[in-house]
Amino acid sequence: MLNIDDTIAAVSTATVPAGTAGRSIIRICGPDVFDVLKKTVTTSESIQRNHITSCVVHVDTDLDIDGWLYAFFQPHSYTGQDLAELHLDACGAVIETILEKLYQSVRPASPGEFTQRAFLNGKMDLTQAEAVAEIVSAANTTQLAAAERLLHGRFSDTIALLRSRIIDLLGHLEAGLDFSEEDIVFISTADALKEVDSIRQQLADLLDGSIRCERIIDMDSVGLAGVPNAGKSRLLNALLGHSRSIVSGIEATTRDVLTGLLQLEQTDCVLFDCAGLLDESRQNTRINQLSHEASLAALNTAAIVLFCIDAGKQDCKAERQMRQQITAETVLFVMTQIDTVPPEQMARQQAHLQSLFNAEFLPTSAATEEGLEPLKKRIQAELLRLRSADAEYESRHMINQRHEQKLAEAIKLLDEAGKEIKAESTEIAAMLLRQGYERLGGLETEDISETILDDIFSRFCIGK
């Protein structure tokens, strides 16, 4: 494990794109923070506890830049140690030069090292530390809200209460062992068994009723469906803003599932295009059949399907057959290539398609970009609706794989403890209860090996 008494530094904000300037935050933590800063920074006033002051950073002999210095003295800081942040508006090259100067006196921070110090110094428990990583990696507002609930300690508070009940029960059982020769009953077998069953059931409810963080961290997928040459590839490229899929007038050009990150105002999603769906008469080769099956499998697991139909299409028999095979919960119907339809015919053609499918159609053109922004807004609205409609995200605990494993182990130990209490093997029951208590302690701060800590914090970004 790294030495937490070293003074460390890192940029804690996103990298400024080349050729641009932006706000960057350099975070410095450790016992020598303010001595190190004196070599590089001149402040307008003396540095005070939990104070913001304007400053000048001496980048080079011929370059000074203005900034703001945020000072936090131990123990009233994020890490529990002396900590400072330099807030600077500068290009990436200038930030790198400042870091190089600082690294002459301090060590570069490792991924997650600031949060690791916060954990080791008792500023947060391990579950809350993991929540910081979830906040940083959140791809939408739902993920962010879930991670914030984890950070605020709801899960930890529940675990602490159950551990307290285990300790109380353990105290009664061990007192009975200590005074076994006396005519004193600290807790009856029936009451002890009832309490074990109650704690075990609450743990089981917590495990069964919680949502895995991984379930909501994965971005929603939005798939483009349609028959070959429905304009899906052009639409994919237009929505992404770059060429991700080959566009060709030859049918069935797309064979594999092609994906890209679609960034919307309030959320991100994975947009994907796959081979065009085929009617039965065209699944005449094994390759075509496998391609069709793979496309359906991908589409039917998507959060949203964009069902694409060429705006000029009249006979939609194949499309109507394909629509029956798509079982995704949310399907948006999209008219593609509307630039190929004369304006005076558009309203009639849109009404024709809406009548055939009994659904609203969103008109788009990849060539002119007409209708793309309304389509993006509709996709975003549907994604947010799907999230908000799932009330479980508002009330249930969020857990990750480590939490799930610890809960399962504790439940098993309490099951065994209940059996031993029933058999009046109090000493063995007490041992099992203590092990269950320790397993749950591993969710917070106790009994955590250095290897596990290193693994958890290695998943963080540098600067967090």
pLDDT of 272 above 80: yes
Q: What is the pLDDT of residue 304?
A: 92
CATH number of the domain where residue 270 is located: 3.40.50.300
CATH number of the domain where residue 62 is located: 3.30.1360.120
Cα 380 to Cα 140: distance, rounded to the nearest angstrom: 10
237 and 113 assigned to the same domain: no
pLDDT tens for each residue of 184-204 = 556 888 888 999 999 988 888
232 and 340 assigned to the same domain: yes
Q: What is the mean pLDDT of the chain?
A: 79
**How would residue 376 be classed by pLDDT, with cut points 50, 70 and 90?**
very high
Q: Domain ends where: 377, 392, 407?
A: 392
**How would residue 248 be classed by pLDDT, with cut points 50, 70 and 90?**
very low
Within a domain: residue 1? no
Q: What is the pLDDT of residue 205?
A: 80
Residue 374: is the preceding peptide bond cis (ω within 30°)? no
pLDDT of 453 above 80: no
pLDDT tens for each residue of 37-88 = 888 888 878 887 778 888 999 988 888 899 999 999 988 898 899 999 999 9
pLDDT tens for each residue of 296-333 = 777 888 889 999 999 988 888 888 888 888 888 899 99
The total number of structural domains in the chain stands at 3
Q: What is the pLDDT of residue 178?
A: 58
**Residues near 316 by beta carbon (within 8 Å), at least 6 away in sequence:** 309, 353, 356, 357
Residue given tokens 């959060």 in the structure block: 303
pLDDT of 280 above 60: no
pLDDT of 383 above 70: yes
Between 49 and 213, name the one with better pLDDT.
Answer: 49
336 and 230 assigned to the same domain: yes
Q: How many CA atoms lie within 13 A of 106 on its CB side?
A: 30
Domain that holds residue 19: 8-124
CA distances 88 to 12, 69, 99, 102, Å, are 12, 9, 12, 15
Within a domain: residue 253? yes
Within a domain: residue 361? yes
Q: What is the pLDDT of residue 82?
A: 92
pLDDT tens for each residue of 110-124 = 888 888 888 888 887
Q: What is the mean pLDDT of residues 8-26?
A: 82
**How would residue 371 be classed by pLDDT, with cut points 50, 70 and 90?**
very high
pLDDT of 464 above 50: yes
**How would residue 336 be classed by pLDDT, with cut points 50, 70 and 90?**
very high
Q: What is the mean pLDDT of residues 368-396?
A: 77
DSSP 153: T
Within a domain: residue 460? no
Query: Which amino acid would we find at residue 149?
Result: R
428 and 279 assigned to the same domain: no
51 and 98 assigned to the same domain: yes
Cα 214 to Cα 204: distance, rounded to the nearest angstrom: 20
Within a domain: residue 388? yes
144 and 78 assigned to the same domain: no
Q: What is the pLDDT of residue 297?
A: 77
Q: Domain ends where: 78, 103, 124?
A: 124
**How would residue 454 be classed by pLDDT, with cut points 50, 70 and 90?**
low
- Kindly state the helix (H) or strand (E) to which residue 26 belongs, with its residue range: strand 21-29
DSSP 339: G
Within a domain: residue 457? no
305 and 275 assigned to the same domain: yes
Q: What is the pLDDT of residue 296?
A: 78
pLDDT tens for each residue of 152-162 = 556 777 888 88
